[in-house]
């Protein structure tokens, strides 16, 4: 039974898709519609990837997705309502239950938690009641890491009919005021950014202006690449030995070569900007500070592997970076740096920005592809790998923001020069997100091989008595001070059974409540599991329960059973989320962080 | 012209096996009589490899691989009974049995649980049913004290006279969604909704089936491995403790409604048709039927409908026929 959409719901969808053409796709039925049919299956299949953007359009405008709105989206796109509901209900930022126009998502994750989030939550509970209570058109919910750990505590505001906003270094008073509709000064202070190679231009260029980019050597690398030819660019990237900066550390050149040599001619580039690993904010800082360089990097990648189109998938909680990138893409098109016949070379390439919907799992490369395609963000089984069967089933290069942004340097300076930076097996510099109990939280760029202790010194050293460091994110491990001599390279970290992950270095001192933090990590993985495979769907629940049972009732911790759960998640889960969901907790127990109980 | 598939050599538990290229590891195992446990796999559906009970160890692979969908490669060395394999299978079965009602699942599941020494009780007593599983906020959950093991227990959904849905028994194998969708019926009345442990099979906004796109073909029941989806007749008989599978006969016939020629298997108890299936390997149906073949049998017996008539009246009538 169809429920009609309201005028504002229809307007939100039509604003994205344009007006409907006939009674078949949502317009008023006319006599002609009874005699003519349009599109059918192929039309619907070709538009399926607009499902998430259409749902976002309704959510942003109206504040939630009603039955009528969902039906209208389905009619416009030819998607079955049950499937569209399955997609809408997958994402935490989309609501299929009525929700007020102002919603505060309060980060209560491992970094914000000891740095002000607890006070904000207390203030909101006092003013509004428990999470989810609606008072005068506003409500609040706790949220996983918002990628603002350098400016903790942070709150993401979803405001129906207005642009979303992020409050950083905020407090309970400001969040309550904003929820009551009062205007609040949003802290726009940039993070501390220290570095020379990738971060050298930060602060000196204007992220809103293509002229500023061009005046600071912008598009030199693209021109150079177009002169060199695509095969030479792939060869330089291979020679650079650069490995992925998103967490998996896969050699980028191998991916590029595989796609460049693929038999199929339709190919894609994806920039993975769904930075959601708790403690990670480097990609946000890069995108907010230097968006044109990322667009240029993607263009070079597209040229090198023979792709016609690039997708930039950015997490939904990054409204500032999203707006900057959209503007950068427009300006690049106007300047002839994107679109048909780029810089007169005959190379056609364009980039589309896609917003995530609040799902950590969509940072997994194949889940991200499914998300773009308008499916639920469930990871695919591999093989086949994205280089053979990626986005829309076509050969696809997917790289992290930081990885891609190294490409212009590699093209201009040469792959060999890049490979000489760092160590033999870990080439280049690496950005680290230093946060928590540290003098100056921020993004620090260091040559690979710098030790963990040296990195922390660059950030002014620990505040208080350093107890532990979360290295690599929630999917990484807690390490003790005995790890300060660890050279930050892929090989040294793996030799010592830890991972650099996405570059998280989060410090905890004597004031940290580790049992509470570990329960938050366990809750995080349970909330963010896509639910597809049994080991992760149930394993993350059982892990959280075992920990809770120990901490709330004082029963001895069943470490053997925790170990068995870790093993099945690591061995039999489909993707990296399940593979790593137990590591942080186990590592913390291993170094004695639970023994204070 | 005939095309011969290239033969591929692999070993399974040390035994050399030759199979056609393009075969899955599961097919290779079955070719030598070494069947593997499967829950989300069915011959007539596209493998989704989500249950992970069929995982095997492949030499050189960091993680275990799903045998139902991984294709064989030349020289592959497969172990189906290694310590890692046995552990993962045991845990998957424990996870399912501790969170789901498996009382009407295929009896082979209990055999596997014995074989792999699964002990679902070690996660604590089962949490009681909840009535909010269709409205939980994505990405949030109630923080528990961990004393009870979370379950998917919930009230059964009964919204029509042909079949019912008891999602307390749902292991989320995706089979019903596939059968309702592109693998058979192309109706798309149900899909997976929500996320994580709150993921579930649902119509849009949990609408009753009568408000959904459902055409009552019953192909979702045909593929369900746990009895979460069930004929109303079977459900009512079970509820009255009158379901006696050992007394049932199964008669194969051909559907009389149209000219397609679908094979029907009529399950008869007390001289009454209580369920209709079709053989998975039947060339016409692949196990799938339409509403008429699946549910349109009352004209044969003209008995009261179990969903609307008290059960003793129906049975008394059946016995006098």
Model pLDDT for residues B192-215, shown as the tens digit of each residue: 999 999 999 999 999 999 999 999
- pLDDT given at position A414: 97
Contact B49 A547 (CB under 8 A): no
Structural domain span for residue A526: 514-590
Cross-strand pairs, A315? none
**Which residue, among B91, B159, B177, would best test binding to A if mutated, counting the most A CBs under 10 Å from its CB?**
B91
B38: chain A residues, CB-CB within 8 Å: none
Domain boundary (A164, A179, A194) is at A179
Contact B193 A85 (CB under 8 A): yes
Cross-strand pairs, A139? A103
Contact A89 B140 (CB under 8 A): no
Residue A3's pLDDT band, with cuts at 50, 70 and 90, is confident
- Write the DSSP symbol of residue A392: G
Contact B196 A544 (CB under 8 A): no
DSSP string, A295-361: HHHHHHHHHHHT-SEEEEEE-TT-HHHHHHHHHHHHHHHHTTSSBSSGGGSS--BEEEEEE--S-GG
Residue B4's pLDDT band, with cuts at 50, 70 and 90, is low
Asked whether the beta carbons of A154 and A167 are under 8 A apart, the reply is: yes
Non-local (6+) Cβ contacts of B96 within 8 A are A534, A538, B39, B51, B102, B171
Task: Assess whether A391 and A480 both reside in one domain.
Answer: no
Q: What are residue A518's phi and psi, to 5 degrees?
A: -70, -35
- pLDDT given at position B291: 97
Q: Which is it for the CA torsion A46, A52, A57, A58, positive or negative?
A: positive
| Nearest by CB: B197 against A92, A531, A546 | A531
The CATH code of the domain that includes A134 is: 3.40.30.10
Task: Assess whether A47 and A59 both reside in one domain.
Answer: yes
- Write the DSSP symbol of residue A427: B
Q: Which is it for the CA torsion A174, A178, A180, A181, positive or negative?
A: positive
Contact A542 B199 (CB under 8 A): no
Average pLDDT of the segment spanning A169-196: 86
Assess whether pLDDT exceeds 60 at residue A465.
Answer: yes
A95: chain B residues, CB-CB within 8 Å: 137
Please indicate if any CB of chain A lies within 8 Å of the CB of B60.
no
Contact A552 B193 (CB under 8 A): no
Assess whether pLDDT exceeds 90 at residue A554.
Answer: no
**Which residue, among A384, A568, A569, would best test binding to B if mutated, counting the most B CBs under 10 Å from its CB?**
A568
Task: Assess whether A273 and A352 both reside in one domain.
Answer: yes
Average pLDDT of the segment spanning B165-172: 98
Tens of pLDDT, residue by residue over A118-175, are: 999 999 999 999 999 999 999 999 999 999 999 999 999 999 999 999 999 999 999 9
* Interface subset of B 198-237, CB within 8 angstroms of A: 198-199, 202-205, 207, 211-213
Q: Does residue A353 lie in a domain region? A: yes
Q: Does residue A93 lie in a domain region? A: no
Contact A572 B205 (CB under 8 A): no
CATH for the B163-320 domain, from 1.20.1330.10, 3.40.50.720, 3.40.50.300, 3.30.70.20: 3.30.70.20
Q: Does residue A442 lie in a domain region? A: yes
Q: Does residue A299 lie in a domain region? A: yes
The chain B residue lying nearest A579, using CA atoms, is: B63
Neighbours of A453 (CB within 10 A): 15
Residue A216's pLDDT band, with cuts at 50, 70 and 90, is very high
The chain A residue lying nearest B90, using CA atoms, is: A568
Contact B63 A132 (CB under 8 A): no
- Write the DSSP symbol of residue B127: P
| Nearest by CB: A545 against B88, B150, B199 | B150
Domains held by chain A: number: 5
Contact A359 B139 (CB under 8 A): yes
Average pLDDT of the segment spanning A191-207: 90
Helices (H) and strands (E) in chain A, counts: 25, 14
A33-47, A314-328, B145-159, range with the lowest pLDDT: A33-47
Q: Does residue A1 lie in a domain region? A: no
Residue A188's pLDDT band, with cuts at 50, 70 and 90, is low
Size of interface A-B (CB pairs under 8 A): 199
Parts of chain B belonging to CATH 3.30.70.20: 163-320
Average pLDDT of the segment spanning B92-121: 98
Cis peptide before B105 (omega within 30 of 0): no
H or E element, residue B264: strand B263-269
- pLDDT given at position A191: 75
pTM here is: 0.96
Tens of pLDDT, residue by residue over A497-540, are: 999 999 999 999 999 999 999 999 999 999 999 999 999 999 99
Task: Assess whether A134 and A282 both reside in one domain.
Answer: no
Rg (CA), chain B: 22
Give the span between the Cα atoms of A148 and A168, in whole angstroms.
Answer: 7
Contact A92 B95 (CB under 8 A): no
A535: chain B residues, CB-CB within 8 Å: 52, 88, 91-92, 95
| Nearest by CB: A546 against B138, B146, B198 | B146
Domain boundary (A485, A508, A531) is at A508
A367: chain B residues, CB-CB within 8 Å: none
Assess whether pLDDT exceeds 50 at residue B81.
Answer: yes
| Angle CA B45–B51–B57, to nearest 5 | 105
Task: Assess whether A384 and A257 both reside in one domain.
Answer: yes
DSSP string, A508-576: E-TT--HHHHHHHHHHHHHHH--S-SHHHHHHHHHHHHHHHHHHHH-PPP-HHHHHHHHHHHHHH-SSH
Task: Assess whether A225 and A313 both reside in one domain.
Answer: yes
Tens of pLDDT, residue by residue over A471-492, are: 999 999 999 999 999 999 999 9
Contact B197 A90 (CB under 8 A): no
The chain A residue lying nearest B148, using CA atoms, is: A545
Q: What are residue B119's phi and psi, to 5 degrees?
A: -130, 85
Residue with tokens 């149900």: B190
ipTM of the complex: 0.95
B146: chain A residues, CB-CB within 8 Å: 544-553
| Nearest by CB: A376 against B84, B192, B198 | B192
Please indicate if any CB of chain A lies within 8 Å of the CB of B127.
no
Residue with tokens 């290295």: A471
Residue B321's pLDDT band, with cuts at 50, 70 and 90, is low
B40: chain A residues, CB-CB within 8 Å: none
Residue with tokens 């409604």: B257
Residue B1's pLDDT band, with cuts at 50, 70 and 90, is very low
Q: Assign residue A227 a region: left if phi > 0, alpha if psi is -120 to 50, beta otherwise?
A: alpha
* Interface subset of B 152-181, CB within 8 angstroms of A: 171-172
Residue B288's pLDDT band, with cuts at 50, 70 and 90, is very high
Helices (H) and strands (E) in chain B, counts: 9, 12
Exposed/middle/buried for residue A205 (C-beta within 10 Å: 0-12, 13-18, 19+): buried
Assess whether pLDDT exceeds 90 at residue B94.
Answer: yes
Average pLDDT of the segment spanning A81-103: 97
Task: Assess whether A489 and A552 both reside in one domain.
Answer: no
| Nearest by CB: A89 against B49, B52, B138 | B138
Domain boundary (A508, A525, A548) is at A508
- pLDDT given at position B320: 67
Contact B91 A568 (CB under 8 A): yes
Average pLDDT of the segment spanning B297-307: 79
- pLDDT given at position B169: 98
Q: Does residue A465 lie in a domain region? A: yes
Residue A25's pLDDT band, with cuts at 50, 70 and 90, is confident
Please indicate if any CB of chain A lies within 8 Å of the CB of B49.
yes
Q: Does residue A146 lie in a domain region? A: yes
Give the span between the Cα atoms of B300 and A42, in whole angstroms.
Answer: 43
Give the span between the Cα atoms of A492 and A498, in whole angstroms.
Answer: 9
The chain B residue lying nearest A141, using CA atoms, is: B140
Assess whether pLDDT exceeds 60 at residue A597.
Answer: no
Q: Does residue A128 lie in a domain region? A: yes
Task: Say yes or no: domain B1-127 is CATH 3.40.33.10.
Answer: no
Average pLDDT of the segment spanning A254-270: 97
Cross-strand pairs, A516? none
Q: Which of A336, A392, A333 is closest to A368 using CA atoms? A: A392
The CATH code of the domain that includes A321 is: 3.40.50.11540
Cis peptide before B284 (omega within 30 of 0): no
Chain A nearest-CA distance from B286, in A, is 24
- pLDDT given at position B2: 47
Which three-class secondary structure string do you get for A83-96? HHHHHHCCCCCCCC
Parts of chain B belonging to CATH 3.10.20.740: 1-127
Asked whether the beta carbons of A249 and A490 are under 8 A apart, the reply is: yes
The chain B residue lying nearest A549, using CA atoms, is: B146
| Nearest by CB: B147 against A82, A358, A549 | A549
- pLDDT given at position A244: 96
The gap between the terminal CA atoms of chain B, to the nearest Å, is 57
Asked whether the beta carbons of B50 and B69 are under 8 A apart, the reply is: no
Give the span between the Cα atoms of A361 and A50, in whole angstroms.
Answer: 20
B188: chain A residues, CB-CB within 8 Å: 80, 82-83
Asked whether the beta carbons of A433 and A476 are under 8 A apart, the reply is: no
Task: Assess whether A380 and A259 both reside in one domain.
Answer: yes
A517: chain B residues, CB-CB within 8 Å: none
| Nearest by CB: B95 against A132, A538, A571 | A538
How far, CA to CA in Å, does A410 sit from each of A235, A297, A298, B91?
10, 10, 13, 47
Task: Assess whether A69 and A130 both reside in one domain.
Answer: no
Cross-strand pairs, A462? A438
Residue A39's pLDDT band, with cuts at 50, 70 and 90, is low
Tens of pLDDT, residue by residue over A360-369, are: 999 999 999 9
Task: Assess whether A151 and A114 both reside in one domain.
Answer: yes
Provide the mean pLDDT of chain A.
95
């Amino acid at each position: 039974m169809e429920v009609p959409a309201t005028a504002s719901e229809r307007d939100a969808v039509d604003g994205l898709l344009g007006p409907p053409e006939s009674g078949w796709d949502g317009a008023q039925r006319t006599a002609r519609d009874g005699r003519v049919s349009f599109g059918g299956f192929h039309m619907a299949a070709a538009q399926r990837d607009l499902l998430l953007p259409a749902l976002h359009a309704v959510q942003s405008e109206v504040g939630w997705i009603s039955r009528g709105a969902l039906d209208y989206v389905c009619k416009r796109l030819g998607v079955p309502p049950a499937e569209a509901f399955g997609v809408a209900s997958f994402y935490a930022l989309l609501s299929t239950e009525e929700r007020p126009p102002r919603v505060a998502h309060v980060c209560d994750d491992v970094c914000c938690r000891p740095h002000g989030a607890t006070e904000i939550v207390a203030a909101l509970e006092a003013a509004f009641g428990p999470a989810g209570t609606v008072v005068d058109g506003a409500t609040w919910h706790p949220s996983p890491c918002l990628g603002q750990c350098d400016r903790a505590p942070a709150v993401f505001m979803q405001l129906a009919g207005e642009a979303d906003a992020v409050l950083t270094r905020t407090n309970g008073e400001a969040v309550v005021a904003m929820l009551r509709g009062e205007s609040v000064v949003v802290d726009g202070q940039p993070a501390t950014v220290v570095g020379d190679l990738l971060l050298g231009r930060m602060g000196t260029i204007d992220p809103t202006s293509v002229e500023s980019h061009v005046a600071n050597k912008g598009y030199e690398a693209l021109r150079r690449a177009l002169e060199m030819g695509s095969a030479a660019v792939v060869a330089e990237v291979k020679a650079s030995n650069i490995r992925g900066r998103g967490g998996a550390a896969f050699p980028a050149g191998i991916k590029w070569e595989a796609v460049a040599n693929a038999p199929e001619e339709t190919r894609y580039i994806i920039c993975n900007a769904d930075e959601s690993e708790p403690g990670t904010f480097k990609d946000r800082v890069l995108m907010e500070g230097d968006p044109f360089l990322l667009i240029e990097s993607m263009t070079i990648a597209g040229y090198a592997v023979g792709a016609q189109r690039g997708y930039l998938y950015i997490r939904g909680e990054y409204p500032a970076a999203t707006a900057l990138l959209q503007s950068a893409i427009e300006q690049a098109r106007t300047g002839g740096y994107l679109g048909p016949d780029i810089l007169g070379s005959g190379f056609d390439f364009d980039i589309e920005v896609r917003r995530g919907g609040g799902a950590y799992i969509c940072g997994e490369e194949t889940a991200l592809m499914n998300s773009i395609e308008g499916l639920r963000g469930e990871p695919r089984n591999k093989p086949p790998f994205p280089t053979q069967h990626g986005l829309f089933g076509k050969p696809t290069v997917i790289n992290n923001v930081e990885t891609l942004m190294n490409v212009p340097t590699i093209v201009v300076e040469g792959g060999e020069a890049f490979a000489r930076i760092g160590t033999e097996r870990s080439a280049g510099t690496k950005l680290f997100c230093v946060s928590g109990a540290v003098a100056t939280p921020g993004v620090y760029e260091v040559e690979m091989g710098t030790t963990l202790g040296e990195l922390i010194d660059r950030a002014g050293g620990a505040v208080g008595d350093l107890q532990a460091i979360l290295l690599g994110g929630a999917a990484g491990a807690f390490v003790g001070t005995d790890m300060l001599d660890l050279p930050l390279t892929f090989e040294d970290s793996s030799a010592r059974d830890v991972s650099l992950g996405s570059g998280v270095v989060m410090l905890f001192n004597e004031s940290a409540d580790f049992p509470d933090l570990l329960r938050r990590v366990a809750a995080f993985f349970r909330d963010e599991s896509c639910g597809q495979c049994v080991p992760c769907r149930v394993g993350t629940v059982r892990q959280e329960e075992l920990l809770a049972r120990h901490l709330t009732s004082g029963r001895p911790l069943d470490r053997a059973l925790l170990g068995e759960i870790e093993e099945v998640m690591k061995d039999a889960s489909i993707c990296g989320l399940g593979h790593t969901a137990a590591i942080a907790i186990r590592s913390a127990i291993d170094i004695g962080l639970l023994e204070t109980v | 012209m005939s095309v011969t598939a290239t033969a591929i050599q692999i070993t399974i538990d040390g035994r050399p096996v030759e199979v056609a290229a393009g075969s899955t590891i599961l097919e290779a195992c079955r070719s030598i009589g070494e069947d593997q446990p499967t829950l989300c796999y069915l011959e007539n559906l596209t493998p989704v490899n989500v249950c992970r009970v069929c995982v095997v160890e492949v030499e050189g692979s960091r993680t275990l691989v799903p045998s139902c969908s991984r294709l064989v490669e030349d020289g592959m060395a497969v172990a189906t009974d290694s310590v890692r394999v046995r552990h993962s299978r045991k845990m998957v079965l424990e996870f399912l049995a501790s969170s789901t009602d498996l009382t009407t699942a295929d009896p082979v599941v209990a055999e596997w649980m014995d074989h792999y020494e699964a002990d679902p009780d070690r996660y604590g007593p089962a949490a009681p049913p909840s009535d909010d599983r269709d409205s939980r906020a994505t990405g949030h959950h109630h923080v528990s004290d961990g004393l009870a093991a979370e379950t998917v227990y919930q009230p059964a959904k009964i919204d029509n006279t042909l079949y019912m849905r008891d999602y307390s028994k749902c292991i989320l194998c995706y089979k019903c969604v596939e059968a309702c969708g592109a693998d058979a019926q192309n109706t798309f009345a149900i899909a997976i909704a929500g996320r994580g442990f709150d993921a579930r099979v649902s119509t849009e906004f949990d609408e009753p089936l009568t408000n959904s796109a459902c055409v009552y073909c019953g192909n979702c029941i045909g593929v369900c491995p746990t009895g979460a989806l069930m004929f109303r007749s079977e459900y009512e008989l079970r509820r009255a403790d009158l379901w006696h599978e050992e007394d049932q006969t199964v008669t194969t016939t051909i559907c009389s409604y149209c000219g397609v020629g679908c094979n029907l298997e009529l399950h008869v108890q007390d001289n009454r048709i209580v369920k209709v299936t079709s053989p998975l390997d039947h060339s016409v149906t692949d196990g799938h039927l339409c509403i008429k073949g699946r549910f349109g049998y009352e004209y044969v017996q003209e008995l009261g409908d179990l969903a609307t008539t008290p059960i003793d009246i129906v049975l008394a009538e059946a016995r006098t026929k």
